[in-house]
Chain A
């Protein structure tokens, strides 16, 4: 578990714009927090946090741009879960689509985890989606998550495929759309 003790971490910091010119979904890991890592002293570059798969951080994580490149970069870097008191809406949605688990815990519990990760980088923390809890030695924090998002994450479901099952309803809806609605061509 690696601590990033900052609030309002925006997606421009997570993955700066110059890397949005790539046309792939992978390969963003080396550019994660690019500007903050420039001096080599950034928390994620410290040897004791190498290989961390959980990032614990301040409130309003992922605010700003809708770039899905942000969760792509976090995943590609090796994170599988992010723990924060709150996430920006679009980042949260993007995370689930990307298979990155965003866990919301109360400020007090997040503070404990940030302190724990800073003081004892070897501390093992388990993020258990099935049981909806974050646990470690001497603590267990329950978290809430949207039931549907949980199911999709656990089952690795193809969301497009799920929507396509409702073809009949989609066609029925299309048939009753107002005639004056514009078409782009």
Chain B
């Protein structure tokens, strides 16, 4: 019977299938961070259990690490979470990239760059943006703390089978339009919950033409339209990205892995439970105007008329009036960072917009690289100098102002152009107002001091 990629990945990981019970799946890689794991480790300890496969687990500190001043700059409770993670990892033998380590970074950035994220794997993490890893043709999704404990103890996860959706994206991306605009426009089309109960495969010529970084941006935001996971079938772009990475297979193992990876795509006559099409050739750069990622529009437009109570509430919170041109909305802050858009390609794209220009005097702008490795790579290319010369703050790696668990937060009422993934009320700081967009768009907003169509600066 023809299968979808998601079905193949699922079937390859079933330890046990029994009627009336969820399938029992085997986890190839369990990523762990400081915020959603303390209670899971405590649960293990209280029940006298140990971590079954510390070798298939990897921990890092990302959610609440300060991006300047090191661990000493953290508040007491953040520091306690970091210390506790270090202690738990030491006791259980789980490798940890802690703050200050050469490989520390956002969990969804370091997995791929270490070559630990590979096609065909099942990857979980106590973080909803785990869907990022699906860009490699892996089945990857976020789990809660009880499930973290379950995976630590058994390396398995009971899961009910989910439906399959295909999102087909065709056409050549216009200049100034990025993977972020594809996914923002998609969420505008689907709303925030259409993906519920589904695994999504992104396909089509536009996806084939995207770099791994672009594919990761799209898979990353699958959760923002409710999907459990997003994925892209692996191809030459995937293999080229992986080759030579520290944990990628080598020699004969590489050839064996390649043989397997090439089989990982949906069969031509596989049936999906739903299909969605996007014409990329007509896309424009997008910005969000509300308090969920589905409240989004092309930057060339205006703040729309509210169509629901939710819209009205969002406009009140965002302090916006229908009919206002997006280009007339001034910003106070610019944040280039997060697991959505803080990889080297994102920093290059932003730097190319600001090169030779300066951050608007009323704007405070910062770049938070997705990982310490990304930071180093950017510095090797001199991107840090471009950002610093333009007046950006150049910070250390972490989740930072995507969710504001560290000192990087918006003050109440501040408006931010952000490359992150959620514009929820208070997400970047209580009372803060977030507009999501691509890295070039955020860079353009930093320079002009307002939301602006980046194509005017290219």
Spell out A's residues near B (CB within 8 Å): 5-8, 10, 12-13, 16-18, 20-25, 35, 59-60, 63-69, 86, 88-90, 93-94, 97-98, 146-148, 159-160, 162-164, 166, 169-170, 173-174, 177-185
Contact = CB atoms under 8 A, between A and B. Distances in A.
Nearest to B248: A182
Contacts of B253: 179-180
B340 to A, nearest CB: 14
B404 A17 contact: yes
Q: By CB atoms of chain B within 10 A, which of A21, A147, A162 has the most?
A: A21
20 contacts: A5-B309, A12-B427, A21-B81, A63-B292, A90-B128, A90-B142, A90-B228, A94-B145, A97-B147, A148-B160, A159-B158, A160-B149, A164-B153, A170-B15, A174-B155, A180-B257, A181-B118, A182-B29, A185-B54, A185-B55
A94 B141 CA distance: 14
Interface stretch (B349-357, B418-426, B449-457): B418-426
A164 B24 CA distance: 11
A177 B160 CA distance: 22
A88 to B, nearest CB: 6
Interface string B122-133: 000011100000
Contact of B39 (A25, A86, A170): A25
A67 B36 contact: yes
Contacts of B3: none
B155 A17 contact: no
Nearest to B148: A68
> How many interface residues does chain B have, given as a range?
35 or more
B42 interface: yes
B36 A68 contact: yes
Given A147-B20, A166-B16, A8 B36 contact: no
A15 B226 CA distance: 19
B174 to A, nearest CB: 31
A10 B424 contact: yes
Nearest to A13: B425
Interface of B: 15-16, 20-22, 24, 26, 28-29, 35-36, 38-39, 42, 47, 49, 54-58, 63-64, 75, 77-78, 80-81, 84, 94-95, 115-116, 118, 121, 126-128, 141-147, 149-150, 153-156, 158, 160, 192-193, 196-197, 223, 226, 228, 247-249, 253-254, 256-257, 260, 292, 308-310, 313, 403-405, 422, 424-427, 430-431
Contacts of A68: 36, 39, 144-146
B226 A184 contact: no
Given A6-B313, A25-B39, A97-B146, A60 B20 contact: no
B227 to A, nearest CB: 8
B20 A148 contact: yes
Contact of B424 (A12, A25, A159, A164): A12
A177 B28 CA distance: 9
Contact of A146 (B29, B47, B81, B160): B160
Contact of A64 (B121, B128, B156): B128
B193 A59 contact: yes
Contacts of B309: 5-7
Contacts of B147: 93-94, 97
A52 B230 CA distance: 38
Contact of A23 (B81, B154, B192): B81
A150 to B, nearest CB: 11
A177 B27 CA distance: 11
B427 A93 contact: no
A181 to B, nearest CB: 6
B56 A21 contact: no
B64 A182 contact: no
A60 B144 contact: no
